[in-house]
């Protein structure tokens, strides 16, 4: 005979079934939040745990709701079919969550995932109904279809809110999912017309109702125990995760270097205080930009930004994990040299890039200072002997390849020691500085002046011939006719120049420099402000003079 449903519900168990559905949804979705913050087997474990909790919760709600319905004495459940309904609930939840968290469009993922979960809820319910023994069930098409639509629509809506990923929407998602499970069940029950044997229905009474109530309590207690264990485990993980986030935040805030985190399309999702200081943008301003727009905001043709975007999108080995240097822009359009390294990691199926950028301005200044100390004279600012040796070798190699001449002028300040002794070292330093400035002011386009040591200077003239070398020497001598203006008054400074030429006077630095020095001493014998070209006979006089000086010193 047909059994009326209106009088057949224990409303305490009805309320308990809804609470179980709500708690299972909240616990499962709360566990699912860990998926996006984990990788590898940890991610798979969280999805599986979420599916188990949701599947068991759905089944528990269904079983309690069935116990809430006063079935006649003698109605039993087919264990195998009940087991299948549990597997459907867990399997459907698992597949739905996997799809919802897969890489790709979030919209399509939660639509497909929600549909699968809705079908799993419906499938579990109707398979569970089929497990009833000694009952004849017929379903009315409209409420039957409506129950499935409710389950699917509510599941999709719950996942939509869940993907907003904050605590308030997690509660909303759980409420909708719980309502979906409960609403689907009772709509499905409303769609069922059940008939029982007359003798079975007659044995229904209070004792049987109490047995149903006790069984429902046991099932509810078991489900709640599972939810509690899962929830406590989730809280423990949340606490560790919060500690990790706090640690990472402190690292970001205290890091000296700029740290950016950005998505595949370049949109910045993290921008630390060091980056704010160096680039001149606030964090909120940076989060509205892409990483490429930040590095190249004034790149008119966009080629640099497009090239870097292409290399990062392809995860090219030439960029990912490699240090490289760029010229970056600040908010005020000034540029600075920067060193950058970009890494990538997959979070929740999505690739997140992290860029570590260091401002090289101070490093470049230090390198330039070291270079100045190594290659330049600190008093006159002229290149020193180290740079002369390098520049000479380059000029000599060029002259040899192109069969050209190379001129060397060796000169010093006439009676410089007398200036130092009579006027002091401060005036002596000023004399060296002004003499160096004079040499620099009259150099031809390809000429270079160097200070070797003390008051000794060298001028290097690529492609220099006898005419140009004489013009250079005469220009220096003419300029020296004008006195140097010092703090103590005007001082007249004189010089003597010795000239050697490649290849006639030598083919090595040592030969040309030595012969120019010998020619300079020959010029000194003629008095101040004279110049002389090297001649082979000068070498003998130089050797005799050197030997005589060594004899006197001995």
The string of pLDDT tens digits covering residues 387-445 is 999 999 999 999 999 999 999 999 999 989 999 989 999 999 999 999 999 999 999 98
Partnered with residue 340 across adjacent β-strands are 324, 357
pLDDT(169) > 80? no
- Determine the Cα–Cα distance for residues 361 and 337; give it in Å rounded to an integer: 6
- Cα–Cα distance measured from residue 149 to residue 58, given in angstroms and rounded to the nearest whole number: 17
CA-CA distance, 384 to 388, in Å (whole number)? 6
Structure-token pair, residue 204: 């229904």
Strands 76-77 and 132-133: antiparallel
Q: What is the pLDDT of residues 493-509, one digit of tens each?
A: 999 999 999 999 999 99
pLDDT in tens, 17-28: 777 767 766 666
Cis peptide bond upstream of 503, omega within 30: yes
Contact present, 497 and 523 (Cβ < 8 Å): yes
Rounded Cα distance, 92 and 89, in Å: 5
Residue 367 in tokens: 């390198």
Highest-pLDDT range among 9-18, 34-43, 329-338: 329-338
Provide the token pair at 64.
């309690």
Q: Residue range 140-168: average pLDDT?
A: 72
Mean pLDDT confidence for 243-264: 68
Using one digit for the tens of pLDDT, what is the confidence trace for 202-232?
Answer: 443 333 334 554 555 555 555 555 555 555 5
The mean per-residue pLDDT over the stretch 519-523 comes to 93
Contact in structure between 542 and 521 (CB atoms under 8 Å): yes
**Per-residue pLDDT, 201:** 42
Looking at the chain, the whole-number percentage of residues with pLDDT higher than 70 is 70
> 278-288: b or e for each residue (b if 16 or more CB lie within 10 Å)?
bbebeeeebee
29-60: buried (b, 16+ CB within 10 Å) or exposed (e) per residue? bbbbbbbbbbeeeebeebbbbbbbbbbbbbbb
As a whole number of angstroms, the distance between CA 311 and CA 334 comes to 26
Half-sphere exposure (CA, 13 Å, Cβ side) for 111?
5
How far is 25 from 172, CA to CA, in rounded Å? 10
Q: Are 10 and 70 in contact (CB under 8 A)?
A: yes
Radius of gyration of the chain (CA): 46
**pTM for the predicted model, two decimal places:** 0.49
What token pair was written down for 253?
A: 């805030």
Mean predicted confidence (pLDDT) in 348-373: 84
Q: Which domains does the chain have, with CATH numbers?
A: 11-196+219-242 (no CATH), 255-360 (3.30.450.20), 376-553 (3.30.70.270)
Q: What is the pLDDT of residue 481?
A: 93
């Amino acid at each position: 005979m047909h059994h009326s449903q209106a009088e057949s519900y224990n409303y305490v168990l009805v309320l308990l079934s809804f609470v179980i559905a709500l708690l299972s949804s909240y616990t499962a979705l709360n566990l699912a939040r860990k998926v996006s913050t984990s990788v590898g087997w940890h991610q798979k474990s969280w999805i599986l745990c979420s599916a188990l909790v949701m599947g068991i919760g759905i089944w528990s709600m269904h079983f309690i709701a069935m116990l809430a319905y006063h079935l006649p004495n003698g109605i039993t459940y087919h264990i195998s079919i009940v087991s299948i309904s549990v597997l459907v609930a867990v399997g459907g939840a698992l597949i739905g969550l996997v799809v919802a968290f897969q890489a790709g469009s979030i919209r399509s993922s939660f639509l497909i995932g929600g549909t699968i979960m809705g079908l799993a809820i419906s499938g579990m319910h109707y398979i569970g109904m089929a497990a009833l023994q000694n009952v004849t069930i017929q379903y009315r098409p409209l409420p039957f279809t409506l129950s499935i639509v409710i389950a699917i629509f509510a599941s999709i809506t719950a996942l939509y809110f869940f993907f907003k990923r904050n605590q308030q929407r997690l509660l909303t998602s759980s409420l909708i999912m719980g309502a979906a499970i409960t609403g689907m069940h009772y709509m499905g029950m409303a769609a069922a017309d059940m008939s029982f044997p007359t003798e079975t229905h007659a044995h229904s009474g209070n004792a049987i109702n109490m047995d149903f109530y006790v069984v429902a309590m046991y099932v509810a207690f078991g489900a709640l125990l599972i939810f509690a264990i899962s929830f406590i485990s989730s809280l423990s993980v949340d606490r560790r995760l919060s500690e990790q986030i706090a640690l990472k935040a402190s690292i970001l805030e205290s890091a000296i270097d700029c740290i950016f985190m950005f998505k595949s399309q370049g949109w910045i999702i993290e921008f630390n205080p060091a980056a704010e200081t160096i680039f001149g943008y606030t964090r909120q301003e940076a989060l509205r930009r892409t990483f490429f727009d930040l590095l190249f905001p004034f790149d008119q043709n966009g080629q640099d930004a497009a090239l870097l975007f292409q290399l990062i999108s392809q995860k090219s080995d030439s960029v990912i994990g490699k240090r490289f240097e760029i010229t970056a822009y600040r908010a005020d359009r000034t540029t600075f040299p920067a060193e950058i390294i970009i890494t990538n990691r997959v979070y929740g199926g999505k690739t997140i890039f992290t860029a570590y950028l260091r401002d090289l301005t101070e490093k470049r200044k230090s390198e330039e200072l070291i270079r100045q100390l190594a290659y330049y004279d600190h008093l006159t600012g002229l290149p020193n002997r180290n740079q002369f040796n390098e520049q000479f070798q380059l000029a000599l190699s060029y002259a040899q390849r192109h069969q050209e001449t190379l001129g060397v002028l060796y000169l010093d300040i006439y009676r410089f020691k007398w200036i130092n002794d009579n006027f002091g070292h401060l005036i002596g330093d000023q004399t060296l500085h002004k003499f160096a400035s004079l040499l620099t002011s009259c150099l031809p386009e390809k000429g270079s002046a160097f200070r070797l040591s003390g008051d000794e200077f060298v001028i290097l003239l690529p492609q220099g011939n006898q005419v140009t070398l004489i013009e250079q020497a005469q220009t220096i001598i003419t300029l020296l006719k004008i006195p140097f203006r010092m703090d103590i008054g005007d001082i007249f400074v004189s010089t003597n120049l010795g000239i050697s030429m490649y290849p006639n006077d030598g083919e090595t630095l040592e030969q040309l420099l030595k012969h120019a020095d010998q020619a300079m001493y020959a010029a000194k014998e003629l008095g101040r402000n004279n110049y002389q070209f090297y001649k082979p006979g000068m070498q003998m006089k130089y050797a005799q003079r050197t030997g005589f000086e060594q004899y006197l010193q001995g």
